[in-house]
Amino acid sequence: MALVLRLIVNTLALWVATLVVPGISLRESVDIYAPGAGAVEDQISVPTLTALLIVAVVFTLVNAVVKPVVQLLSLPLTILTLGLFLLVINALMLMLTSWITGAVHLFGAEYVVSGFWAAFFGAIVIGLVNWVVGVFLPSSSRN
């Protein structure tokens, strides 16, 4: 239940980041190819909620698998900067999510982050949304 709740909160946070940060967007189209011809016949739009859920799954997996390793390896730098380097790590995780969704095109959903500063401010927005929503969740669901 906690994983599903985290997925929903990440979906909301990623959506808010696309609205607030100018360099972050969500592309959501699937190319349909003509049989045998190999040419693009039409484009079908994936519903925004589905695309956001797909991106949120990738983002949640990146944060669960890759982020702890990066945090451990950068622990001296994080201590030296009094924790401010965690913002850079969060921005890198957002850029990694953008790269994965851009390379794989899961069901046509692609989360586009245009550069480091867009990722940096997007990570701040996502962190703030996670914090604000986390305040309203019961304490047993946050763990």
Task: Give pLDDT tens digits for 29-56.
Answer: 655 444 554 444 444 455 588 888 889 9
Model confidence, pTM:
0.81
pLDDT at 83: 92
What's the average model confidence in pLDDT over 49-70? 91
pLDDT band at 136 (very low <50, low <70, confident <90, very high): confident
What's the average model confidence in pLDDT over 18-32? 80
Question: DSSP letter string over the chain?
Answer: -HHHHHHHHHHHHHHHHHHH-TTEEEEEEEEEEPTTT-SEEEEEEPPHHHHHHHHHHHHHHHHHHHHHHHHHHTHHHHHHTTTTHHHHHHHHHHHHHHHHHHHH-GGGEEEEE-SHHHHHHHHHHHHHHHHHHHHHS-TTT--
Nearest-angstrom CA–CA distance, 24 and 111: 7
CA neighbor of 55 nearest in space, from 105, 119, 92, 91: 105
pLDDT at 40: 47
Task: Give pLDDT tens digits for 91-128.
Answer: 999 999 999 998 887 777 888 999 999 999 999 999 99
Quick check: 137 pLDDT over 90? no
Residue 28 or residue 5, greater confidence: 5
